[in-house]
Chains A and B, each alone.
Chain A
Amino acid sequence: MRKLDFSALLPYADALVEGLIFTVVLTLVSTLAGIAVGTVGAWARTSGPRWAGGLVAAYVEVIRNTPFIVQLFFIFFGLPAAGVKLSEASAAFLAMTINLGAYSTEIIRAGIDATPKGHWEAGLSLAMSRFEVFRHVVLAPAFKKVWPALSSQIIIVMLGSSVVSQISAEDLTYAANFIQSRNFRAFEVYFLVTALYLALSIAMRAALAALGAKLFPKV
């Protein structure tokens, strides 16, 4: 076996750091946007107008039943034929938002469905509109119930973001592939990048747990 030499990665430290930052920023932005989409989607499916519910159901089915990389390629390589040309960063952000939006729609909807009917009735009897009940009474407990599931989905999306390297978005995996193509040190570079993804996942899980505890304190 060839001798391991992690110092061969040193000249590429900049590329790795930039890739790591890209991955983190991409994940944060698309998580925020994706959960916003999911919240609206869950509202439409549970208490919105019928046509909106149907539309969202179709969106959720299409996205949850097709591979992420195909969605990404469609946006990046396919849409230009329809006159919509996005940079690789925008395409990556859009694909991840759409993807997380579909999954979080279903997760948040589960939380809403688990809300006892009495909560709705109590709110409505206080002369609140259905939207006000949703917004002030139902949403927060629903989020609290599904927060662990949502956190897992966010981590999955972060790990799935490695696929955006395929459209030349310069994320952490792109940096790894680039370095590997230059110094052929596959073990060293992928070992390091695996450790970085693992650290990122653990850190994000801890941050999400802390955020959950703060946003939805035990009553």
Chain B
Amino acid sequence: MTLTRTFAALTAALTLSLAALPARADALDDIKKAGVLKVAVPQDFAPFGSAGPDLKPVGYDIDMAGLLARELGVKVEVIPVTSANRIPYLETGKADLVISSLGKNPDREKVIDFSVAYAPFFSGVFGAKDVAVAKAEDLKGKTVGATRGAIEEQELTKLAPDATIKRYEDNNATIAAFISGQVDLIATGNVVAAAIAEKSPARAPVSKFVIKNSPCYVGLRKNEPALLAKVNEIIGKAKASGELGKLSEKWLKAPLPADF
């Protein structure tokens, strides 16, 4: 309730500020003229964006910002933002793009434009490489750990009535159950799976099937067709050249999903 209201207020405020803005030139031209691409990136959401050892932001989104700037032939300036203020940064022109593990939904599409997806973000069932599971039906007789009340636990309960779902109180207990082998598989987000793979390579979880997919998109101000086309072109090229796959391997410890 409060969330929708906040959002409505935000939308209204943004519409007003947009109306007040003078007619502007094409954003792509502006960026090239300035020689700098300003990108809002997350500051508190590893592995997409967090402070590195030298307090400079590092992560998938930061690398993605660098990739876009390189292809545009300009310098990159990353602006660490929170998930609450990332859209205002874009709308007020403080940032040209938002690369901040942004998911797409109809409410957001009213306010900003989205590129094609640049990073996989999904919850699914993960397990050791040698566990033969490809769909929910294969879970029969297998034990799956999940965090009680989490979206993947609720969805999996419906999807796989034959599976033995072990529900734990919090993410840490679910992870501990998987690492100690108390459960065969784990239902969680791909980001959590990447963290497990990094800290416990012996039990590195591999994606078996997707429960809910909501990949990340680059956010742009509305009505910037030239910039949008260029961003999409660069992402498409990076995907084809395997560069995006390398980013995924580097930060998410997994190749891009087959249907990405």
Contacts and interface: CB of A to CB of B under 8 A. Distances in A.
A166 B168 contact: yes
A178 B167 contact: yes
Interface string B145-180: 100110000100000000000111100010011001
Nearest to B157: A182
Nearest to A80: B180
Nearest to A181: B149
Contacts of B167: 168, 174, 177-178
B83 interface: no
Nearest to B180: A80
Given A177-B148, A181-B148, A181-B149, A80 B166 contact: no
Interface in B181-196: 181-182
Interface residues of A, number: 17
Interface in B58-113: none
A106 interface: no
Nearest to B153: A181
A78 B179 CA distance: 10
B182 A76 contact: yes
Contacts of B177: 77, 167-168
Interface string A150-178: 00000000000000011110000010011
Contact of A166 (B173, B180, B181, B182): B173
A166 B176 contact: no
A10 interface: no
A135 interface: no
Contacts of B180: 76-78, 80-81, 85
A147 B1 CA distance: 57
A177 B180 CA distance: 23
B140 to A, nearest CB: 18
Nearest to B173: A166
Contacts of B148: 177-178, 181
Interface of B: 145, 148-149, 154, 166-169, 173, 176-177, 180-182
Given A166-B168, A181-B148, A181-B149, 8 more contacts: A73-B176, A76-B182, A77-B180, A77-B182, A85-B180, A166-B173, A168-B167, A178-B167
Interface of A: 73, 76-78, 80-81, 85, 88, 165-168, 174, 177-178, 181-182
